Structure 1
Amino acid sequence: MKLQRKWHAGFLTVVAAIALSACSEDPFETKKEVTTEQNTEMDHSTMDHSSSGDVPETLKNAENPMYPVGSTAIITDGHMDGMKGAEATIVGAYDTTAYMISYEPTTGDDRVEKHKWVIHEELIDAGDAPLTTGTEVKTDASHMEGMENATVVIDEAVQTTVYMIDYVSTTNGEAVKNHKWVTESELTTAN
């Protein structure tokens, strides 16, 4: 009888250990946590670095931009590899509201967080600028695959001069034409 009890106790211990291990996470499995900082480092592989240069009809040229059309400036804040530190030639300068946005691409790809920038004139039925943080609106911007006709959430609004620029990537030597957009605070005077 004692042997049978010991066998039952041992059997129950093994069963309990298996059950508990099945319910717990694998202690040897390493997990990759995504921090907010990593989340803002977007994959811009689907971004149209160059564009046709077409701008919305309602977009107004800047009257007295810090960087006039034809001048050069250094990009101080790159939205993608190869931008930061590159020399930009100013192709267009426009006064508007620029928005940092987050959205679910219409392609079904992963959510894009804190994309810089779309401008007020690229939003559909947006009313008066600036829109407040948290506002949801659709965009007809096509800077990235899956952006056009997406519903976006406004993360930040900046009243500024935005620039369309040409530059050569510092990482791969690719010539980028009519890149939309960089803000005035993302440029500095070329030496």
Structure 2
Amino acid sequence: MRKRLTMTLAAGVLGGALLLTGCSSGDQDPSKAGPHHGGSSSTSSPASSDGGMDHSSMEHPMDGGPAPAGIEKAASPKYPVGTQVILTADHMMGMDGAKATIVGAYDTYTYAVNFTPTTGGEPVKDHKWVVQQEIKDAGSKQLADGTEVTLEAEHMKGMKGAKATIASSTDETVYMVDYEAGGMKMTNHKWVVESEIKPAS
């Protein structure tokens, strides 16, 4: 009887240890980082141990690709193509204070939007930015805050085709930039508006 009780207790302790091991291994998934781009989302992105970007949450492609069809180049932008500037936007970890080169300057309406990715997951709040030409059937007039739209931009996974709400807008000149931060080079990054840029010293 005593031998059977000892074996039962040993099996229970072993089973409990295996159960605890299984739980702890599933809780530390670095790929489950939140969105990195937007207003409040960017500040919640975790930093890597070396103080740079957390590459596991980098959802934007390294090359943002060409400007959307139909967008109008700015006639006399404050920062012409080729200008070296400093970014003051904090859309992504490491962006604020980064040196950048202007690769495109455009006149259009630019929007911050709230949307839920088509791939599921948490809603993205105050994503900056999408331009008029990246919104389905947007027309030529500035859209009012609160307008519900469908996104055609592909800045990040799950964005194209997503239903979104306009959070705010601006008619500032909007720019595409090349910049480097956290050891990663981003080309044709969309978008930063004029008030998010300062001259390089």
* Paired AA for residue 127 in structure 1: G
Secondary structure, aligned partner of 2:173: strand
Does structure 2 retain, via aligned residues, the 8 Å contact 1:42–1:113?
Answer: no
Say whether residues 1:59 and 2:71 are aligned partners: yes
- Map of 1:135 onto structure 2: 147
**RMSD (Å), alpha carbons:** 1.8
- Map of 1:164 onto structure 2: 176
Aligned with residue 109 of structure 1, among 121, 142, 146: 121
**1: CA distance, partners of 2:124 / 2:87:** 23
Runs of 5+ consecutive residues of structure 1 not aligned to the other structure:
1-36
**1: CA distance, partners of 2:105 / 2:61:** 18
Does structure 1 retain, via aligned residues, the 8 Å contact 2:40–2:126?
Answer: no
**1: CA distance, partners of 2:86 / 2:125:** 25
What TM-score, normalized to structure 2?
A: 0.71
Say whether residues 1:79 and 2:91 are aligned partners: yes
Q: Could you list the runs of 4 or more consecutive aligned residues of structure 1 that deviate by over 3 angstroms after TM superposition?
A: 37-44
1:118 to 1:38, Cα distance in 2 relative to 1, 3 A = closer
| 1:128 CA drift (Å) | 2.8
Does structure 2 retain, via aligned residues, the 8 Å contact 1:90–1:163?
Answer: yes
| 1:116 CA drift (Å) | 0.3
Secondary structure, aligned partner of 2:195: helix
- Map of 2:198 onto structure 1: 188
Identity %, equivalent residues: 44
**2: CA distance, partners of 1:50 / 1:63:** 28
Higher strand content, 1 or 2:
1
| 1:48 CA drift (Å) | 1.3
**1: CA distance, partners of 2:63 / 2:42:** 23
Does structure 2 retain, via aligned residues, the 8 Å contact 1:87–1:190?
Answer: yes
| 1:49 CA drift (Å) | 4.7
1:81 to 1:126, Cα distance in 2 relative to 1, 3 A = same
Does structure 1 retain, via aligned residues, the 8 Å contact 2:42–2:91?
Answer: no
Number of residues paired by the alignment?
153
Aligned with residue 108 of structure 2, among 96, 105, 113: 96
| 1:73 CA drift (Å) | 0.7
**2: CA distance, partners of 1:117 / 1:185:** 13
What TM-score, normalized to structure 1?
A: 0.75
Larger Rg: 1
Does structure 1 retain, via aligned residues, the 8 Å contact 2:74–2:105?
Answer: yes
Runs of 5+ consecutive residues of structure 2 not aligned to the other structure:
1-38, 46-53
